[in-house]
Amino acid sequence: MSLVVDPDPPVGPPLAPPEADGLPKPQRYFAVLAVWLAIGMAVLDGAIANVALPTIGRELGADPAASIWIINAYQLAITAALLPLASLGDKIGYRKVYLAGLTLFTVGSLACALSHTLPLLIVSRIIQGLGAAGVMSINAALVRHIYPTRLLGRGIGLNAVVISIASAAGPTVASAILSVAGWQWLFAVNVPIGLLAILVASRALPHIEGSRAPLDFPSAILNALAFGGLILGAERFARDGLLPALPALVIGAVAAALLVRRALGQTAPMVPIDLLKIRIFRLSILTSIISFSAQMLGLVALPFFFQGLMGRDAVATGLLMTPWPIAVGIAAPIAGRLSDRYPAGLLGAIGLGAFALGLALLAMLPAGASDLDIIWRMALCGVGFGFFQSPNNRTIVSAAPRNRSGGAGGMLATARLLGQTSGAVGMAVLFHVGQPSPTTLALGIGAVIAAMAAVASLTRLRA
């Protein structure tokens, strides 16, 4: 779609010409900075609250079962709003949705910092999650329009580095803040960063006109019921069994069926089923779901594996988890550059093969393994996953028509969340059934799933 100037004259650097492929320098650099600041905050905030959960619950007088909603409220708000906001971006313009999401996230962060009761904090986290959904749903679409096509893989790779660093830094940042200040500052630090990101984004992000079609509100409601019901039901099933989870699962399944049925009769549906008709897009989304499921299965199992079987303490476990995201950060931009020249199906298969090998080697570690034995296996997992992620994301984004970049980005983020949720629920089920060594079994299953994803990646070579 052509880039056009909004009716109100923008402040800041001149916009790219209507037919330009990407933004010109230095506007591109400022736009990338805005994207990195926003996505980094959104990902980081999903990680730092986990570390502080016991502290927050204790200070607010909440029991652990109630405190977990500080995490759940944020994640559910993101999941429920991703596809509707991605669709809204296609309709009214990605810049508007991104700026609105960034503003809402900053306001929600301030509200979290000022909350003095658990209900207020949960409501504030919902606001924060809706803002994060605005950022995450449009992120890939903006990257596609910021970078020239010949550099798209590089741009997506660098984006993956920022996400990886934010994920890895979450526990460390949380611990550092809590060592010198109260938990409120975990959220308050977002406010100045958010204001800076809003300022840069308002001056540098590309002006892309949407289709101006109305938002499909019935689909948005069905989407929220579908994802909310299925995810809550899956978590309840893993924790308490089928019967308590059945109502949420039924609501989610019925809403999902109605949502798909409604989408089949639409030209540009909120759930982009029309994009799934594109074979390379469909296969890449499937590969993404499978691979993120394997990744989350491993990441949830490994802390228990290190502490329970390897005898490491919490500090050592944190350090041993670090090579994985660092390796992702190193491999992702390299793979991104290669994806501008070589097929993602081949690069993804190589990466997922290495990832599967790393998980299998971790599962076979003896109890007396040295730190070095663990570190290089963790790094192999990270290199393999990073080598898969960037080419796969590039394929998903570029396979869709430019005017459906928002829908493609929404599906990319949704696939990641579905895979991660599946992996976390799978690990909970393994703990629930009482296997003799559930963490070792989880790593072995993760290796098999990653190998399946490698095979799925290879099928894209014919697409």
Report the pLDDT value the prediction gives residue 21, as an integer from 0 to 100: 72
Query: What is the 3-class SS of the chain, one letter each residue?
Result: CCECCCCCCCCCCCCCCCCCCCCCCCHHHHHHHHHHHHHHHHHHHHHHHHHHHHHHHHHCCCCHHHHCHHHHHHHHHHHHHHHHHHHHHHHHCHHHHHHHHHHHHHHHHHHHHHCCCHHHHHHHHHHHHHHHHHHHHHHHHHHHHHCCHHHHHHHHHHHHHHHHHHHHHHHHHHHHHHHHCCCHHHHHCHHHHHHHHHHHHHHHCCCECCCCCCCCHHHHHHHHHHHHHHHHHHHHHHHHCHHHHHHHHHHHHHHHHHHHHHHHCCCCCCCCHHHHCCHHHHHHHHHHHHHHHHHHHHHHHHHHHHHHHCCCCHHHHHHHHCHHHHHHHHHHHHHHHHHCCCCHHHHHHHHHHHHHHHHHHHHCCCCCCCHHHHHHHHHHHHHHHHHHHHHHHHHHHHHCCHHHHHHHHHHHHHHHHHHHHHHHHHHHHHHHHCCCCHHHHHHHHHHHHHHHHHHHHHHHHHC
- Domains 19-215 and 271-463 agree in fold: yes
**Highest CATH level, class, for 271-463:** mainly alpha
The pTM assigned to this predicted structure is 0.78
pLDDT tens sequence across 173-194: 777 787 888 888 889 989 999 9
In terms of pLDDT, which residue wins out, 316 or 392? 392
Break the chain into its structural domains and give their ranges. Answer: 19-215, 217-265, 271-463
pLDDT tens sequence across 351-367: 999 999 999 999 999 88
Report the pLDDT value the prediction gives residue 65, as an integer from 0 to 100: 66
pLDDT tens sequence across 278-315: 888 988 999 899 998 898 888 878 888 888 888 887 67
pLDDT for residue 24 is more than 90: no
Report the pLDDT value the prediction gives residue 157, as an integer from 0 to 100: 82
Give CATH for domain 19-215.
1.20.1250.20
Report the pLDDT value the prediction gives residue 30, as an integer from 0 to 100: 92
